Amino acid sequence: MIEIEALTKMYGSAQVRAVDEVSLHIPAGSVFGFLGPNGAGKTTTIKMLAGLLTPTSGQVRLGGFDVVRQRSAAMAQFGAVLEGSRNVYWSLSAWQNLMYFGRLKGLRKAQVSERAEDLLSGLGLWERRDDKVGGFSRGMQQKVAIATALIADPPIVLLDEPTLGLDVEATRVVKDWIAELARELGTTILLTSHQLDVVQELCDRVAVIRRGRLVADLPTRELLAGFRERDKYEIRIEGAAPAGFDAVTREGVTTMSVRVNDPREVYDVVERLRAHGVVLESLTQVQPDLEDVFLALVNEASHA
């Protein structure tokens, strides 16, 4: 469980409010997406959660422990992947990094070895386990950072852009792990990513931050439903569209976008198509994806 109360961070003499009175409650076992455009305050928030930055005001509790006042207990609650793979030692090998961090978290050597083998094999790094991380590609370093964050199965995992630079296969592995950790171990996962398809697939709930302030905090499904375009439908038909209908034909499939003021008007469109002898393949209400919703929220907030 992560509890954030009125968290605020001001930087320097310019008094930039990088994070402004942010409150979030993230229950155990949930995967929480923390989104925002560049410079919105995501990394600053995660650094305060990880005890790397002291809040100007407000509170963070990890698993019930206050990050400032009960620092060591709070630090034992989480594993983190922070920007630029800064949670790994570049002069050590992948294996040595995992051993070091596993032992630091209090695991026995045999426990660390077993877990390290699983993680490195899963990420396709087993063959390179004895090579220094400093000589790895960015994607490989990111994989070591992820393995390090997960080595001790912490109750909370903080992931800042975890799939950045990963290839398709590794992205799949990491996404599956995240879902499995939350589902099977009840791990609380906070995730930031600009890859909104990853967030949409994984996160139960999403918060959007802009210029340090929250502009949304909702279950993903509700967030998407709230932005459903009630007046837009997509009709697919066999063959070409009759004259007078606006349609696009690509690879033998004709698609028409129809905007109506009242859903009942869809019947009229279908009737007119039938009168032309057109065969319908499908009729669907257009569903926005998280990218549409995110852009709408961020633009709304900038015009407010």
Provide the token pair at 17. 């409010």
* 193 lies in the binding site for ligand ATP (CB under 6 A): no
Comparing CB distances to ligand ATP, the nearer of 163 and 254 is 163
Number of residues that bind ligand ATP (CB under 6 A): 12
Taking the C-alpha atoms of residue 284 and residue 235, their distance in angstroms, rounded to an integer, is 7
* Residue 191 DSSP SS3: strand
Binds ligand ATP by CB under 6 A, chosen from 20, 32, 36, 119: 36
* Residue 65 DSSP SS3: strand
Shortest Cβ 13–ligand ATP spacing (Å): 10
Cα 9–Cα 13–Cα 17 angle in degrees, nearest 5: 30
Residue ranges in 157-186 that form contacts with ligand ATP under rule CB under 6 A = none
Window contacting ligand ATP (CB under 6 A); options: 42-50, 65-73, 86-94, 284-292? 42-50
Binds ligand ATP by CB under 6 A, chosen from 38, 72, 91, 261: 38
Comparing CB distances to ligand ATP, the nearer of 82 and 146 is 82
Residue 208: CA count within 13 A, CB half-sphere: 25
x/- site string to ligand ATP, residues 11 to 30, per CB under 6 A? xx---x-x------------
Contact 235, 276 (CB under 8 A): no
Taking the C-alpha atoms of residue 34 and residue 245, their distance in angstroms, rounded to an integer, is 42
* Residue 204 DSSP SS3: coil
* 42 lies in the binding site for ligand ATP (CB under 6 A): yes
**Distances from the Cα of 208 to the Cαs of 21, 53, 66, 225, 226, in angstroms?**
14, 21, 24, 16, 15
Shortest Cβ 19–ligand ATP spacing (Å): 7
Residue ranges in 51-80 that form contacts with ligand ATP under rule CB under 6 A = none
Comparing CB distances to ligand ATP, the nearer of 216 and 237 is 216
* Residue 12 DSSP SS3: coil
Window contacting ligand ATP (CB under 6 A); options: 41-49, 130-138, 147-155, 222-230? 41-49
Residue 80 CA, chain-centre distance (Å), reads 14
* Residue 147 DSSP SS3: helix
* 142 lies in the binding site for ligand ATP (CB under 6 A): no
Contact 85, 141 (CB under 8 A): yes
Binds ligand ATP by CB under 6 A, chosen from 20, 33, 41, 177: 41
Shortest Cβ 133–ligand ATP spacing (Å): 22
Provide the token pair at 276. 């032309």
Window contacting ligand ATP (CB under 6 A); options: 9-17, 84-92, 199-207, 278-286? 9-17
Site residues, ligand ATP (CB under 6 A): 11-12, 16, 18, 36, 38-44
